[in-house]
């Protein structure tokens, strides 16, 4: 079931999961769990079948509760600083993730495109300013140029390459934020959908 959502929202075809095909998710979740193990997620999070013990992170369930792509991305974004500190404290190198690995990992974390709601682009426009995006990025000639121009991105409607880019560039991004003294922006529920909806529509109009 491809998700084809109104303009300004995600256009994603990632998982095809009508009721009779729910079993098709099992191999994908298993592949995602293997990615989580390989990338060191289990040093902080209890993986399926493990007891939590003294691990500080949340428990990974299988199957995970279904979530809209923007919510999975929101939680990933909000969690990045804590994960970076965890890796640094243990002297572990930040692991690179390939797009195909991120596809499996996001499925393991419960991402289901069919749950995505239509965004509010006007609210998304306001969030660009409220979250300080333009203190690093440029948008339509406004803002800083310490980070890439947001109109150059083409992934705002596709959570897999977007999550992959966010993850792989997280250390450099966090270093830049810390050096500039800018507070790391935290997103509340629903805000990521609106932000990405606005940026996606703006990017489309800029082509």
Greater confidence (85 vs 147) lies with 85
Pull the structure tokens for residue 23.
Answer: 């079993």
Question: 138, 105, 84, 93: which is closest to 37 by C-alpha?
Answer: 105
pLDDT-based confidence at 52, cuts 50/70/90?
low
pLDDT-based confidence at 180, cuts 50/70/90?
confident
User: How do the domains of the chain map onto residue ranges?
Assistant: 3-205
Write the burial class of residue 178 (CB in 10 Å: 0-12 exposed, 13-18 middle, 19+ buried). exposed
Report the range of poorest mean pLDDT among 52-66, 152-166, 167-181. Answer: 52-66
Q: What is the pLDDT of residue 64?
A: 87
Q: What is the pLDDT of residue 202?
A: 86
Instruction: Report pLDDT digits (tens) over 131-155.
Output: 999 988 988 888 888 888 888 777 7
Terminus-to-terminus CA distance in the chain, angstroms?
A: 28
């Amino acid at each position: 079931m491809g998700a084809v959502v109104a303009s300004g929202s995600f256009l994603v075809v990632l998982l095809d999961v009508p009721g009779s095909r729910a079993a098709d998710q099992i191999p994908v979740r298993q592949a995602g769990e293997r990615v989580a193990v390989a990338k060191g997620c289990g040093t902080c999070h209890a993986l399926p079948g493990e007891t939590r013990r003294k691990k500080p992170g949340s428990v990974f369930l299988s199957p995970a509760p279904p979530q809209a792509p923007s919510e999975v991305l929101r939680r990933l974004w909000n969690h990045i600083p804590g994960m970076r500190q965890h890796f640094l404290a243990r002297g572990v190198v930040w692991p690179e993730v390939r797009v195909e690995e991120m596809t499996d990992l996001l499925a393991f974390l419960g991402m289901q495109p069919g749950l995505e709601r239509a965004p509010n682009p006007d609210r998304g426009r306001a969030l660009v300013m409220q979250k300080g995006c333009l203190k690093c990025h440029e948008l339509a000639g406004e803002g800083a140029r310490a980070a890439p121009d947001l109109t150059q991105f083409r992934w705002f409607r596709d959570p897999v390459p977007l999550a992959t880019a966010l993850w792989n560039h997280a250390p450099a991004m966090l270093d830049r934020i810390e050096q500039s003294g800018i507070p790391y922006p935290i997103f509340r529920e629903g805000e990521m959908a609106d932000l990405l909806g606005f940026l996606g529509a703006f990017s489309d109009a800029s082509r």
